[in-house]
Amino acid sequence: RKEVEQDPGPFNVPEGATVAFNCTYSNSASQSFFWYRQDCRKEPKLLMSVYSSGNEDGRFTAQLNRASQYISLLIRDSKLSDSATYLCVVTPNNNDMRFGAGTRLTVKP
């Protein structure tokens, strides 16, 4: 079993749609959780941290369920500029990050 597993995608949605990505992780002792965004042939960039209480940043909402070892990302009112690969990230300790393979999103006009 992979340490971090994500929806395989790709997701192709129209502008204005709501889309949700899911992620599961295998190490129950994992301490921190993040969503990163990666544009084609660019470096990953932090989108948001994920907290147990859930957190929201504009059109983006992240949720963490430690009992189920499950993380989600919800994007509302999708924009063309949201097209990217979304990477689920888990830190098993305070040092290294473990990435999922990523889910590719394409938002179409």
Partner 1 sequence: DAGVTQSPTHLIKTRGQQVTLRCSPKSGHDTVSWYQQALGQGPQFIFQYYEEEERQRGNFPDRFSGHQFPNYSSELNVNALLLGDSALYLCASSLTGGATKNIQYFGAGTRLSVL
Give the residues lining the site for partner 1 (CB under 8 A).
4, 32, 34, 42-46, 49, 87, 91, 93-102
C-alpha triplet 100, 44, 34: angle, nearest 5°: 55
**Nearest CB to partner 1, comparing residues 60 and 99:** 99
**Nearest CB to partner 1, comparing residues 27 and 32:** 32
**Nearest CB to partner 1, comparing residues 27 and 49:** 49
- Report the C-alpha gap between 108 and 39 in whole angstroms: 16
Q: How far is the CB of 91 from partner 1 (least distance, A)?
A: 7
Indicate the helix (H) or strand (E) that contains 64: strand 60-65
Residue of 29, 47, 35, 37 lying closest to 94 (CA atoms): 29
Q: How far is the CB of 50 from partner 1 (least distance, A)?
A: 12
Phi and psi torsions of 81, nearest 5°? -70, -10
**Nearest CB to partner 1, comparing residues 19 and 89:** 89
Q: How far is the CB of 88 from partner 1 (least distance, A)?
A: 8
